[in-house]
Amino acid sequence: MKIIDSHRHVGLAGFDLPVILRQMDREGIEMSWLLTWEEIDPPLKTIYIGLPPEPVLEACEKHPDRFIPFYAPDPSGPDPGKMIRQYSKLGIRGCGELKVSLRWEDPLIEKYLEAVQTHHFPLVFHMEQPRYQYFQSGEGFFQWLLERLLNDKFNGVSRYYLNRLAETTGILRKKIEKNRVCFPGILFDFAFLERRVVQFPGIRFIGHGPDFWNHISITRHPRYIHQKGAYNTFGIIDRLLESYPNFYCDISGVSGFNALHRDRRMARIFLEKHADKILFGTDNTDLPLLELLRSVNPGKEKMNRILRTNALRVLE
């Protein structure tokens, strides 16, 4: 079966063009969507990784049979509509990855979506909840360790308990509060997302990211970055996929893999139910997503839709 990867980046996590091509050949991936990441004034500048459109276009020019170019200019830019028009003439086939610290209700997003719909582009977007990000205030092992524990180590568990310790006992409280900054989140408001999906029926919205995939279940715990454990009731993304013909998702990255891996019984139900709306992707990871999909086994025809047909259909 020929596979299409709907979520890749050039230059992220050491994935330059030769590395991407080798991984594609190894896993039997025929084509990949190449996505950008642009935010003019990111709130966490030290962890922002700008991924401009030029390497995407260069890769597609060298290997037009292997790559499909996407570009998502920052909606806060001077004229994102003009940028979308300009790059559509250069061959981009979609808008993505939209990963900016705005909310769906922002008027900038409305104007942006008007431009995306004009070109009938699919839109790949990322969702993250607001949080505090800790930055070390000096050199040394303790400072380094504290930064890790208060950010992403152990799937957020260490952050959760250290913050609770500081709040209840006062231990490390002043240090933590002094050296953390508020991260405002990324497109995390589901209520206004739903309004935009209704407002712009000509856009195929393709959701992705930790906050998106945490809502595969109705129950969530603030202890985790990526939710864990079995569950019995699907969350809001199940309803959105069921309700709107222009709403899709991609199962790329840690968040997509985790959403399926945490409860394989529910994963099979989800994949079988929404096989027409799910796109395969890697997001520059080497997680065994293909093996997971095959072990869950939603059936040959539905696997073909997830691994290939859906990605072709949303580009029509």
Print pLDDT tens along the chain (316 aa).
Answer: 799 999 999 999 999 999 999 999 999 999 999 999 999 999 999 889 999 999 999 999 999 999 999 999 999 999 999 999 999 999 999 999 999 999 999 999 999 999 999 999 999 999 999 999 999 888 889 999 999 999 989 999 999 999 999 999 999 999 999 999 999 999 999 999 999 999 999 999 999 999 999 999 999 999 999 999 999 999 999 999 999 999 999 999 999 999 999 999 999 999 999 999 999 999 999 999 999 999 999 999 999 999 999 999 999 9
| Sign of the alpha-carbon dihedral angle for 314, 67, 81, 193 | positive
Return the structure tokens found at 273.
């139910």
Distance separating alpha carbons of residues 264 and 268, to the nearest angstrom: 6
C-beta of residue 123 within 8 angstroms of C-beta of residue 94 = yes
Query: What contacts 24+ positions apart, CB below 8 Å, involve 139-148?
Result: 146/172, 146/175
Adjacency order of strands within the sheet including 122-126: 95-98, 122-126, 204-208, 247-250, 278-279
State the DSSP code for 234: B
* φ, ψ for residue 118, nearest 5 deg: -55, -35
Task: Kindly report the number of other CB atoms within 10 A of residue 305's CB atom.
Answer: 22
Element housing 272 (H / E): helix 264-273
* φ, ψ for residue 170, nearest 5 deg: 90, -10
Number of C-alpha atoms within 13 angstroms, CB side, residue 88? 16
